[in-house]
């Protein structure tokens, strides 16, 4: 599987989409709201993408809930994870059950239209970040950890691998890395004592199959942003934390990546630092530039890791409502609310 994840333009493929998907460096495709019209259309599109790719390709979406839910009509409305405790009236046991059921519903529905993974859950704290906020489960790590574990359990019950983001934590820096370059001046020990704790807990439990690093610079650790830092990705994540899952870059088109240089430089730096798959989204010219000019390669270890994220079930949307797991979770959520 190639190391590039790109996007497509519309609800069906153009000739250029098909040409790019067939390129050997392309191993993934991320779907957005603009690509969705109905479950039936999305199912047809994902099959069209797999046919165009001509080989295994990883299909992904950001479908966390709340303001980050790409498909809405006909899909279960997933609340922002930061709302779970209040929905459960601060009863952590009920909040955990709710998290598990929403993780299950999300994963079943996303996979039923042919997509392998959702980039979820968010393991950041709900601190001062403008872009994280209630995408996080809570302000306190001792509440984030059990809720995230329950949500991941729901995903795994549906057969979906979990991707934790944004390693080692984006919640304690204010700026939005989509439009700025966040810098967090705390020491590593301070980060480890707070933001890193949910990630470490999930890694220690073997709950995560993939991670997505933050476009944040922590100068006490390295002058480079996490997604471009061999210190973070190789020394800390691979060696110290013993993580052998997939490392996705965050979108290389984001402003937080611009300090590295152009798109070619960003892609090369991310792969050299240790990212298995490089996201180049919402910028077709940048994706083409990276494919044509970047000195990147297909790495067998990365391909092995990525292959483990492909869905293994044959659930289709037309049969979803008959799935007893979906029926039970839907009833629970409806009765709960």
Neighbours of 184 (CB within 10 A): 22
Is 67 annotated in a binding site? The answer is no
Write down the catalytic residue from 124, 195, 222, 250.
250
Is 62 annotated in a binding site? The answer is yes
Would residue 178 show up in a list of annotated catalytic residues for this protein?
Answer: yes
Do 237 and 165 meet the contact criterion of CB atoms below 8 Å apart?
no
| Gap between the Cα atoms of 125 and 140, Å rounded | 7
Is 165 annotated in a binding site? The answer is yes
Name the phi and psi angles at 315, rounded to 5.
-60, 135
Q: Is the dihedral of CA 172, 139, 30, 249 positive or negative?
A: positive
Is 18 annotated in a binding site? The answer is no
Is 135 annotated in a binding site? The answer is yes
Residue among 12, 8, 50 nearest 31 (CA): 8
Angle between helices 324-336 and 92-112 (to 10 degrees): 140
Would residue 153 show up in a list of annotated catalytic residues for this protein?
Answer: no
Write down the catalytic residue from 176, 178, 299, 323.
178
Neighbours of 185 (CB within 10 A): 10
Query: Coil, strand or helix: which one is 307?
Result: helix
| Gap between the Cα atoms of 299 and 239, Å rounded | 19
- Which residue ranges make up the annotated binding site? 62, 70, 135, 165-166
* Residues acting as catalytic residues: 178, 250
- Which residue ranges make up the annotated binding site for substrate? 62, 70, 135, 165-166
């Amino acid at each position: 599987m190639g190391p590039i994840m790109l996007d497509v333009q519309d609800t069906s493929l153009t000739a250029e989409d098909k040409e790019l998907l067939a390129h050997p460096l392309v191993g993934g495709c991320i779907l957005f709201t603009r690509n969705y019209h109905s479950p039936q259309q999305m199912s047809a599109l994902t099959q069209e993408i797999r046919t165009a790719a001509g080989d295994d390709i990883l299909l992904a979406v950001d479908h966390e809930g709340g303001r980050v839910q790409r498909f809405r009509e006909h899909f279960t409305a997933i609340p922002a994870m930061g709302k779970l405790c209040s929905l459960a009236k601060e009863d952590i046991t009920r909040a955990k059950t709710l998290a598990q059921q929403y993780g299950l519903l999300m994963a079943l529905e996303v996979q039923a239209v042919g997509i392998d993974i959702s980039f979820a859950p968010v393991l950041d704290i709900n601190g001062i970040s403008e872009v994280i906020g209630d995408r996080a489960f809570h302000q306190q790590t001792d509440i984030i950890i059990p809720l995230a574990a329950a949500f991941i359990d729901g995903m795994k019950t549906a057969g979906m691998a979990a991707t934790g983001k944004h390693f080692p934590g984006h919640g304690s820096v204010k700026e939005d890395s989509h439009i700025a370059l966040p810098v967090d001046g705390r020491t590593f020990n301070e980060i480890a004592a707070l933001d890193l704790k949910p990630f470490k807990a999930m890694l220690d439990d073997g709950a995560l199959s993939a991670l997505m690093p933050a476009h944040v610079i922590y100068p006490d650790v390295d002058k480079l942003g996490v997604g471009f830092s061999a210190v973070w990705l190789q020394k800390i994540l691979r060696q110290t934390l013993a993580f052998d899952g997939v490392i996705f870059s965050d979108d290389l088109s984001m402003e937080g990546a611009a300090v590295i240089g152009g798109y070619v430089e960003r892609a090369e730096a991310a792969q050299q630092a240790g990212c298995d798959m490089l996201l180049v989204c919402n910028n077709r010219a940048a994706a083409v530039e990276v494919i044509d000019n970047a000195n990147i390669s297909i790495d067998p270890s990365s391909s092995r890791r990525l292959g483990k994220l492909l869905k293994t079930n044959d659930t289709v949307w037309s049969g979803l409502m008959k799935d007893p797991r979906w029926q039970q979770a839907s009833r629970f959520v409806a009765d709960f609310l």
